[in-house]
Chain A
């Protein structure tokens, strides 16, 4: 089966600019996640979708981050305006059931300068 697709692979922006990331999960996976991974740390959950509804966005900095999953398939994560501390890898993952775990995409490496 095709994996989780993410784009772009790399992005460099200046602080206060905006940026958007795209994710296409594995076909049929109802649950989609966005994680932020700062260098040297484990992934931290930003938002969880079930189909096109939000299950948990308690750790999403809503003053600058937004995410949507229209039609319950692909998803976009936006940052506006970006700060230096947003420099990280943004990982998208999808899942069909608990036993199989997540499948992660390759991630988008964001550098804010």
Chain B
């Protein structure tokens, strides 16, 4: 089975840095994705990690530790438009198929 855990809600201030954690227990592992989902919209791809370490892409970075079953998404220089839900998803064993966590709702305040 698959178990993916992330905080339900977080609040951060505009211009600050926030880290959203994700822990997972899965029967297999091929990679981990982060998606952003604004209210009422479809999820959009942010990042993909296969190997341990940090992947940086502009203001967003994602980290993976396969041995610890842990990932985080780091958002720098927060903007109001970053208010959204952030979904952690694991590509487990077998056919290419993502299992999603429940998402973390991030609110950015002035």
Contacts and interface: CB of A to CB of B under 8 A. Distances in A.
A50 B96 CA distance: 10
Nearest to B40: A109
Contact of A31 (B43, B44, B96): B96
Nearest to A42: B100
Max chain A Cβ within 10 angstroms of own Cβ: one of B42, B48, B89? B42
B5 to A, nearest CB: 11
Interface string B93-110: 001111111110000000
Interface in B26-47: 30-31, 33, 35, 40-45
Q: Specify the main secondary structure of chain B where it touches its partner.
A: strand
Nearest to A97: B96
Contact of B95 (A48, A101, A107, A109): A48
Interface residues on A, range: 20 to 34
Q: How large is the interface on B (under 10, 10 to 19, 20 to 34, 35 or more residues)?
A: 20 to 34
Contact of A42 (B42, B44, B87): B87
B20 to A, nearest CB: 13
Contacts of A91: 42-43
Contact of B102 (A41, A50, A102, A107): A41
B100 A102 contact: no
4 smallest beta-carbon distances between A and B, as pairs: A42-B100, A104-B42, A101-B45, A42-B102
